[in-house]
Amino acid sequence: MRVISAPHAFNEEELFVDLLPSLGCPLFLKCEGFNFAGSVKLKPAVAMVEAAEREGSLSPDTILIESSSGNLGVALSVIAASKGYRFICVTDSRCNLATRLMMEALGSTVHVITRHERGGSFLAERLAHVQSLCAGDARYLWLSQYTNPANCEAHYRSTAPAIARGFPELDVLFIGAGTTGTLMGCARYFRQWHRPVRIIAVDSSGSVTFGNPPGRRMIPGLGMSVPPPLLDESLIDEAVLVDETDTIRTCRSLARRGFLFGGSTGTVVSGATAWLARHPDPATTAVAIAPDLGERYLDTVYQDNWVQGLYGETDSTVLPTQSAVGRPGRPT
């Protein structure tokens, strides 16, 4: 029996799903959504807040603030509620309704940005709003997941070692690219490991992370509209781009086999299966990181009207057979 007194004291670290029976793909999926925040973002949330505590940056009057498309906002809401801090999440209109309601239920304040810069990016407006609030009130502390080294350190010290323990003969690791905290923390760990591991970044089409032109992205989670400051491309072997329609097909394919995962996970699995199909080798040991679960996407990824309204299709039962693959810096 395990007894905890704080929500961040529990995080299932050792659960992997073998996707071969479900998808016919030799891929193990590390499930990161089984904690009280429901996603991998609990780790950097804890790491960033505790780093600020160690540095003496927090006081009883401090108001934590962060820009988030959703999952980190929920994770910080959990930590803030547990530790007695106030928290403001600055998100945008793409954030799932369930995610916003969860943050508010946990006592956080949510600011929703509805306008965006030319080209469809909300991030610049979100960051400008955060900076404006911080400039006007000294109580605000911006954790800045985009530049905070604790974001990477959390995965270097927990996520990567857990994969290494479970798969000592690991050959390929697939990791979604958002702020690139998970990507960089794991990549740095395995660059120092006892055997070479190919690090494959999985990104959303429309993201500029690897030098591609910006485009519309409606599924929150992965992808960036500005180059992520934490990214070190020298630690990455390849980058895979995934269209959002392929993300939806993959999520729904997994759901029809009883695995309800979130949009970020659908993107990572889609990119991983496409890459493995192009590099068939029965001896390869491949692992992908699943950042989230699917309950928060019931009114988007799993909702036919939402899908049809944005993408003009609802046939999402067939796993994609092709996705763009390229070298870091210029996925094609």
**102-160 pLDDT per residue, tens:** 999 999 999 998 876 555 578 888 888 999 999 989 999 999 999 999 999 999 999 99
pLDDT band (50, 70, 90) for residue 210: very high
- pLDDT for 313 beyond 60: yes
Instruction: Determine, yes or no, domain membership for 2.
Output: no
- Residue 251 in domain: yes
Is residue 261 pLDDT above 80, yes or no? yes
| 331 occurs within a structural domain | no
Question: Does 256 reside within a domain?
Answer: yes
**pLDDT exceeds cutoff 70 at 53:** yes
pLDDT digits (tens, 9 = 90+) for 213-231: 998 888 988 999 889 999 9
DSSP class of residue 304 equals H
The CATH number given to whatever domain includes residue 123 is 3.40.50.1100
Please count the other Cβ atoms lying within 10 Å of the Cβ belonging to residue 125. 17
pLDDT on residue 92: 87
Q: Where are the beta strands (DSSP E) in 140-291?
A: 140-142, 172-176, 198-204, 238-242, 286-290
* Residue written as token pair 């494959």: 200
Mean pLDDT value of segment 66-91? 95
Are 85 and 66 in a shared domain? yes
Examine the domain organization and report whether 296 and 162 are in the same domain: yes
pTM higher than 0.85 for the full model?
A: yes
Whether residues 101 and 228 share a domain: the answer is: no
User: Does the pLDDT at position 322 exceed 50?
Assistant: no
> In this structure, are 108 and 236 located in the same domain?
no
In a shared domain, residues 135 and 248: no
Residue 112: Cβ-neighbour burial (10 angstroms; 0-12, 13-18, 19+): middle
Closest CA to 181 of 18, 293, 287, 32: 32
Residue found by looking up tokens 């690139």 in the block: 180
Phi then psi for residue 241, to 5 deg, are -100, 140
Mean residue pLDDT across the chain: 91
Q: Is residue 1 part of a domain?
A: no
Q: Which residue has the tokens 């909300």?
A: 122
Residue 312's pLDDT is: 86
Note whether 43 and 72 are within 8 A (CB). Answer: no
Q: What is the dihedral of CA 248, 249, 250, 254, to 10 degrees?
A: 100
Q: Is the pLDDT of residue 292 over 80?
A: yes
**Domain limits for position 114:** 42-142
pLDDT digit string, tens, across residues 265-281 = 999 999 999 999 999 99
